[in-house]
Amino acid sequence: MTEPILSVRDLEIAYRTGRKESVTAVTGVDLDLYEGQSLALVGESGCGKTTLGLGLLRLLPGPGRITSGSLVYRLKDGTRADLLTMGKEPLRRFRWNEAAMVFQGAMNAFNPVIRIVDHFADTLRDHSGGKRWTKQAVERRAGELLEAVRLDPDRVLPSFPHELSGGMKQRALIALAIALNPQVLVLDEPTTALDLLTQRQIVQQLHELRRQFGFTMVFITHDLGLAAELADRVATMYAGRIIETGSARDIFHAPKHPYTAGLINAVMPVKDAVPASGATPRLESIPGYPPSLKAMPDGCAFHPRCAFATEECKAAPVALEVLAERPDGMTHAAACLHHDRVRLERKTAGGQAASAEKEPTNV
Amino acid sequence: MSDVPTRGPETAGSEPLLKLSGLEQVFDTGKGEVPAVGGVDLEVRPGKVLCLVGESGCGKTTTARAAAGLTKPTGGTVAFRGKDVSRMSSAERLAYRRAVQFIHQDPYAALNPTRTVFSTLTAGLRRHKQVRSKAEAREKAGELLRLVDLTPPESYLDSYPHQLSGGQRQRVNVARSLAMNPELLICDESTSMLDVSIRVSLLNTLGKLRDELDVGFLFITHDLAVAKYFAWDGEIAVMYLGKVVEHGPTPEVIGNPQHPYTKALIGAVCEPDPDLARANRAASELRSADIPSLTALPSGCAFHPRCPAYEPGLCDDAEPPLIRFGGRPAAPGAAGGRRLACHVVSRDHGRSPSDDPAESALGSGSPRGAAWSA
């Protein structure tokens, strides 16, 4: 393990909402991403995960702006560059060459009036820093990529987006994102809105592509199952902050933030043999709703919904605290004063969490 | 539909609220006829849940719309409390419309953006002349909001949909459907656009209606975790290309699936547990990922081009009927036994002397079957 491929320090992203007003969507994010790892950003709608993902490539839309922090990448040539001070032309070369993004909503990410092959041509020509791409070269490269995601190039390349199914579009979009061999791939909700069997296929292909191309992966999802399936590391976001981070095993077997535990407790495992002997299962939801960015609670933003909240939680924001050192930057850290009281409701297949020690929860 | 077993004495007890018999829906399009639903027989009982699961295009929504009387089926019947919906008098039809309510998928699109919550909630009440004054309407609307845990009601009554979150909007949708004291709620992917914790709290609210008000549910979802949770004491019917391919009590269908399609669906679920997820990675190997078109259905069993258990000559020849599976009688009080439409599994089951011959996709040691046969 050498130096990280991406170091994010104290990143803050805000959206302007009026002439002098803005809301902060992401605050105080520190993140080190190591080569070949996959990191899942999980959380509910509005927690800032997509904003952070877009921010990693400086792809924020209009009113969004990175207001402070640093985003240092280790480039393919070994040099280090801060994305926030990069000029327009270097930034264009950076995108897709060094880091690429698979946008949310496979259904709408393609231009509907442009054939798939021309999407590849545009991407290859725009981001190659002046390198010439002949029609044949584009078709050859696009063909290789489509075959890597198990699509038939002869069928897909001449098609318009509407002629492809949702799963095919998502796979073509992934192929397009890795067209220039980026080191880092950011995927925003890569399986949302796809059918179960198609989701499974995308998951399997992402595993294969990582093996084949060796990229580092950041994916954004609200689906904890997907995170458990694809991630080496998980970072839970709430109200614009990373509130827990650790290896997938640490997070899913022994979460240390009540919000992470609440999310896991709210999902019914399908294959797991719970509940035993015909008892009716009962899941608990997290009471209340996430806070508005415009009216953030004082202290820990989760305290109004938290069963463990004390006066201390309301007083000051809680910083991430390292709870267990692990190799490869997989350190388990949580931003909770009561992390030692957090338990999962149920037994997990590999975890030690015992339901006997169940803490009282809100009903 | 002579192969469909009648669900006889063991289902006695409560009369079904909703009964679909041989339901067919063929859509005429410029490119020919699309058989969206091809003969579905299902029942929903008061206070029970019937969950329809399957991929997009399998006919779940079409079935639900026909059950709600929103479309006229091209074949078969929809009966509500024993009465054929298409032969109801206008008074009966009005009562049916009141008793059966539909909750749509998209909480953003289902509410009129120019109406306040109060106006939305009481539109039906006013239409059906259930309230006499505005004060009474407000009181009733407040009660409805409390029923769906939007409290205090005063802070929501005069809001517009854009002022509410997705979860709150979906609760307003549920409250609206409850205004008519429905006996049957038809939920079409009603929780799929919500975040996990919000989803569970809405499911718990719906569960309260099921258990306390005896509301029956026709619940449509593509999410097996939701199906397992919400329909645990009810039944699941798995649909594929317009037909039910497996049907039975939820714990049995999820814990010990028999149809290769059901097994594939369950195998494809991403579990929120890295060990479980990785152990099951190899579980779903289909021969083809593509769903055949409804306009060019494969011969025989429609699943055969994708099925890992496919046997040439058997599966591509005749369509497997949906027949009773497993000889054991249903548990008393439970809605009924299992039905399955698969040549291979039914044949192998017939050969084997044991009660549970087909190994579960979950590997050995599933305690579920044992728990349920006891």
A188-228 pLDDT tens trace: 999 887 888 888 888 988 999 999 999 999 999 988 999 99
CB–CB of A270 and B266 under 8 A? yes
State residue A346's pLDDT score.
Answer: 65
- B contact test, residue of A152, A220, A285, A305 with most B CBs within 10 A: A285
The tens digit of pLDDT for each residue in A234-255 reads 999 999 999 999 999 999 999 9
State residue A228's pLDDT score.
Answer: 92
CB–CB of A197 and B284 under 8 A? yes
For residue A348, give how far its alpha carbon lies from the nearest alpha carbon of chain B (Å): 7
For residue A67, give how far its alpha carbon lies from the nearest alpha carbon of chain B (Å): 27
Q: Could you give the CA distance from residue B185 to residue B182 in angstroms, rounded to a whole number?
A: 7
The tens digit of pLDDT for each residue in A282-321 reads 888 888 888 888 888 999 999 999 999 999 999 999 999 9
The tens digit of pLDDT for each residue in A29-66 reads 999 999 999 999 999 888 999 999 999 999 998 889 99
From B205, B233, B261, give the residue that closes a domain: B233
State residue B333's pLDDT score.
Answer: 37
Domain count across chain B: 2
For residue B109, give how far its alpha carbon lies from the nearest alpha carbon of chain A (Å): 17
Tell me the CA end-to-end span of chain A in Å, nearest whole number.
Answer: 45
- Look up the CATH number of the domain holding residue B98: 3.40.50.300
CB–CB of A264 and B272 under 8 A? yes
CB–CB of A248 and B274 under 8 A? yes
B98 and B222 belong to one structural domain = yes
Out of B195, B267, B273, the one facing A222 most closely (by C-beta) is B195
3-state secondary structure of A216: strand
ipTM entry: 0.84
Chain A's closest residue to B283, CA to CA, is A200
Q: Could you give the CA distance from residue B83 to residue B90 in angstroms, rounded to a whole number?
A: 13
CB–CB of A272 and B168 under 8 A? no
The tens digit of pLDDT for each residue in B261-313 reads 999 999 888 888 888 766 655 555 778 777 888 888 899 999 999 999 999 99
Distances in Å between the Cα of B343 and the Cα atoms of B302, B312, B359 are 12, 11, 16
Domain hosting residue B104, numbered range: 14-116+165-233
Q: What is the pLDDT averaged over residues B157-179?
A: 89
Residue B91 lies in a domain: yes
B59 and B179 belong to one structural domain = yes
Domain edges within chain A: 6-231, 238-357
Q: Is the pLDDT of residue A339 over 90?
A: yes
Return the minimum-mean-pLDDT range out of A78-82, B284-288, B316-320. Answer: B284-288
- pLDDT confidence tier of residue A127, bands split at 50, 70 and 90: confident
Q: Could you give the CA distance from residue B103 to residue B85 in angstroms, rounded to a whole number?
A: 20
B169 and B265 belong to one structural domain = no
| Residue B316: CB atoms within 10 Å | 15
CB–CB of B168 and A351 under 8 A? no
Share of chain A above pLDDT 90, in %: 64
Q: Could you give the CA distance from residue B2 to residue B16 in angstroms, rounded to a whole number?
A: 21
Report the top-level CATH class of A238-357: alpha beta
Residues in chain A closer than 8 A to B252 (CB atoms): none
CB–CB of B200 and A227 under 8 A? no
Mean pLDDT of all residues in chain A? Answer: 88
Distances in Å between the Cα of B345 and the Cα atoms of B306, B309, B342 are 16, 9, 6
Element (H, E) at B277: helix B274-279
Is the distance from CB of A174 to CB of A109 less than 8 angstroms? no
Q: What is the pLDDT averaged over residues B328-349?
A: 72
Does residue B152 have a cis peptide bond before it, meaning omega lies within 30 degrees of 0?
Answer: yes
- A contact test, residue of B271, B303, B366 with most A CBs within 10 A: B271
Out of B222, B271, B284, the one facing A269 most closely (by C-beta) is B271
- pLDDT confidence tier of residue A1, bands split at 50, 70 and 90: low
CATH code for the part of the protein at A6-231: 3.40.50.300
B226 and B105 belong to one structural domain = yes
